[in-house]
Amino acid sequence: MTDIATERSANWLAGAGLRPTRQRMTLASLLVGDGQDRHVTAESLFEAASNSDEKVSLATVYNTLRAFCDAGLMREITVDGSKSYFDTNMTDHPHFYWEDTAKLTDAPAEQLEIKHLPDAPEGAEIASVDVVIRLRRK
């Protein structure tokens, strides 16, 4: 982990009030260490961590991703009701889901226009709206 990646990771965790444990620092560095946003699955992050000096279990990856989401550092996007992706970009934006590669990428937010949402049922409020546009290559 470079000094810059370590600093970015520590600041990212500190901004959410999370203690910088060894495992959190390892995963945070993989997620935000280079300053780029990421869409990862728990499995892809586990694989990346397996190639680092600090080994973490898949259970730790799942638990840490959940802690990052709960702290407001990431959000979970579910595709097909079963596959979860974790996004470090916390701005409101839509996603493209590439069916052939099972990859999730950002879609241009400025091109999306939602004019009206249905009213939430009585006793409920809309917490968020996730837009996932499925793509198939021609």
SS (H, E, C) 76-112: EEEECCCEEEEECCCCCCCEEEECCCCEEEECCHHHC
Q: In terms of domains, do 9 and 50 share one?
A: yes
Q: In terms of domains, do 64 and 20 share one?
A: yes
pLDDT at 80: 80
**How many whole angstroms separate alpha carbon 39 and alpha carbon 45?**
10
pLDDT at 53: 77
Q: In terms of domains, do 102 and 118 share one?
A: yes
pLDDT at 2: 74
For 122, residues 6+ apart whose C-beta sits below 8 A from its C-beta are: none
Domain that holds residue 77: 3-84
pLDDT at 1: 62
Number of domains the chain contains? 2
Phi, psi of 132 (to 5 degrees): -120, 120
Q: Which residues of the chain have pLDDT under 50?
A: none
Q: In terms of domains, do 66 and 105 share one?
A: no
The two beta strands, 39-40 and 83-87, are antiparallel
pLDDT at 3: 87
pLDDT at 116: 93
pLDDT at 59: 96
* pTM of this structure: 0.89
